[in-house]
Amino acid sequence: MNLRFLVLIALGLATIAAKAEDWVVDGTFRVEGLLSGHEMTEAECQPAGNSLWLTVDGRGDCIRYFHAGLDESGPNRLVHIWLHGDRLSPRWSSRVGHGKPSNNQPVAYGDSDPAGLEASAKGIWRTFGVPYIRLSRPGTYGSSGDHTQRRRPREIELMHAAIEALKARYQIEYLALSGHSGGGHLVGALLPRRPDLRCAVIASGNVAPGQRIRLEGWSTDTTGYTDWVDPVLLVDDIPVLVTRPIILLADPRDQLIWFSSQQIYYQHLHQRGHKVVMFAAKAAGPDYHDLSYLGQNVVRWCLERRSDNEILSSTKFLIDIIKPGSKKYSRLRDAPSEIDRD
Q: Give pLDDT tens digits for 294-328.
A: 999 999 999 999 999 999 999 999 999 999 989 99
**Predicted local distance difference test score (pLDDT) of residue 315:** 97
Residue 334 has a pLDDT of 73
pLDDT attached to residue 91 = 76
Domain that holds residue 234: 3-321
| Model pLDDT for residues 40-67, shown as the tens digit of each residue | 999 999 877 799 999 999 999 999 999 9
Is residue 170 in a domain?
Answer: yes
Q: Which of 47-56, 108-117, 251-260 has the highest mean pLDDT?
A: 251-260
- Give the CATH number for residue 128: 3.40.50.1820
Residues 226, 96 contacting (CB under 8 angstroms): no
Q: Is residue 333 part of a domain?
A: no
pTM score over 0.85: yes
- Mean pLDDT across 104-109: 89
pLDDT (mean) for 58-84: 97
Cα 102–Cα 105–Cα 111 angle in degrees, nearest 5: 135
Q: How big is the chain by its Cα radius of gyration, in Å?
A: 21
DSSP lists the bridge partners of residue 176 as: 80, 199
pLDDT higher than 60, residue 19: no
Q: Which of 79-83, 87-91, 139-143, 210-214 has the lowest mean pLDDT?
A: 87-91
Q: pLDDT at residue 132 above 60?
A: yes
In a domain, 327, yes or no: no
Quote the pLDDT of residue 15. 37
Query: pLDDT category, 250, cuts 50, 70, 90?
Result: very high
**Looking at the domain assignment, is residue 72 inside a domain?**
yes
Best-predicted range by mean pLDDT among 32-46, 94-108, 167-181?
167-181
* Residue 261 binned pLDDT confidence (cut-offs 50, 70, 90): very high
Task: Report whether pLDDT(25) > 90.
Answer: no
Q: What percent of the chain has pLDDT over 70?
A: 89
Among 142, 221, 151, smallest CA distance to 183 is for 151
In 3D, which of 23, 14, 25, 29 has the Cα closest to residue 41?
23
- Integer Cα distance of 200 and 188 in angstroms: 9
pLDDT at 203: 98
Domain contains 334: no
**212: Cβ–Cβ under 8 A, 6 or more apart, which residues?**
206, 257, 258, 261
Domain membership flag for residue 133: yes
Rounded CA-CA distance 177/233 in Å is 20
* Residue 342: inside a domain: no
In a domain, 337, yes or no: no
- Banded pLDDT at 99 (limits 50, 70, 90): low
Counted domains in the chain? 1
pLDDT in tens, 179-196: 999 999 999 999 999 999
- With H, G, I as helix, E, B as strand and everything else as coil, classify residue 72: coil
Kindly state the average pLDDT of the residues 273-295: 96
